[in-house]
Structure 1
Amino acid sequence: MRIFGAMLVGLALAGCATDTARPTSERPPLIPIPTGTAGLGQVIGASAANLTAMFGAPVADVREGSARKLQFGNATCVLDAYLYPKGRDPKAGAEPVVTYLDARQTDGSPIDRASCVGALQAGRRR
């Protein structure tokens, strides 16, 4: 009976123990986003050459017909820039320009597009 009582007390005390250790994150440090960046105005309507000058070489360059997607990224975010020829006739030889942007954090979470543009520019200036 003594053994049973000792086991019962041991189990009761074990239930009081808590594990306060938290898993560590392996995410790389974020690049600070400067305030006062020009934002989307300098990206919408930009050519592929302009984007490369702003952000460096893209991590992906996908072409489909007259459309093109350039992807830029760093430790903070990923920016997808979709370029389409200007004008109504895509066969007229007009240079494709950015008409739409999509942005996300590196873990897939949402991020404001202008903030991502600022983070990519800040990372480029380092």
Structure 2
Amino acid sequence: MKKTTIWAKSLVVFVGGIFMATAQSKADKPIKVQKRTLMDKFEPDLVKPVDERIALKEKRIASQQQTKKILDTLNISDRKRRRLMRELRRSPFSERIQKTILAETEFEDEIDNNPKK
């Protein structure tokens, strides 16, 4: 009985380790855009090609990630940070987020010109 218990516990630990390892090596999902749009059907000259739309989407995602990194480093309360992160997911180019980043950012020139006493 003790041997089966030991084997069962070791099997659980082994399977758990495999799941943890596969969860960490998860690959990013490819970016998808709609190949044919309704606008493409009627006005093909006004619609950007698929590869250009993918590039724009990648650029937008990179901008969101950069803004998220900036929000993580700001010296603001956790509640405000969570609210701004939620706002970032809903509308990435929000005025509220940009105002907060500009208001909380201390530039190096300001720090060098105004030494603390």
Question: Please, what TM-score do these two structures have when normalized by structure 2?
Answer: 0.26
TM-score (norm 1): 0.24
Structure whose residues are more often helix by fraction:
2
- Higher RCO structure, 1 or 2 (CA under 8 Å, sep 6+): 1
| Structure exhibiting the larger radius of gyration computed from Cα positions | 1
